[in-house]
Structure 1
């Protein structure tokens, strides 16, 4: 996965009615844990629940979160452009 335009991604997620959050947790970082969190919730995810991925890097949390979101159905296949670096 190439570097993605995170601002564009977050705006496109919000346009679906969902809320998106990227976080770097200082406590988890100090403990050597997965400091990065990517969460998408609400909107079209209300029934199935949120997607959350914690990982050691921003890129990993985004990639794994987008893959999980994409697996929720064809309405999320537009995320391929971010996963394939075509955005």
Structure 2
């Protein structure tokens, strides 16, 4: 993914956020943010939201977390929280 720095693909309106999630994670890393997305099988079995996004460091004053039943829900919540924290994020 190193070759994509500074260049973002055009967003296909028929596809979802999951198509650009890795690019978003890379962009946050370039800003000094430690970030991960995780799918927890145990939480899935317990009918709890299995997807978790976590970010800390860099320009974030406090760490943040977002959970969702789908990767789309999780990343949508994460992007909202990142923007509220003042980070410029694409998509």
**TM score, norm. by length of structure 1:** 0.79
Number of aligned pairs? 76
Q: Which has the larger radius of gyration?
A: 2
User: How large is the Cα RMSD of the aligned pairs?
Assistant: 1.5
- The answer on 1:58 being equivalent to 2:66 is no
TM-score by length of 2: 0.76
Higher helix share: 1
- Kindly provide the CA deviation profile for residues 25-69 of structure 1, in whole angstroms up to 9, marking residues without a partner as x: 011000000100011111111xx2111011111111101011011
Match of 1:36 in 2: 51
Structure ranking higher on relative contact order (CA contacts 8 Å, 6+ apart): 1
Mark the runs of 5 or more structure 2 residues left unpaired by the alignment. 1-12
Q: Which ranges of 4 or more aligned residues in structure 1 deviate by more than 6 Å?
A: none
List gaps (5 residues or longer) in structure 1.
83-87
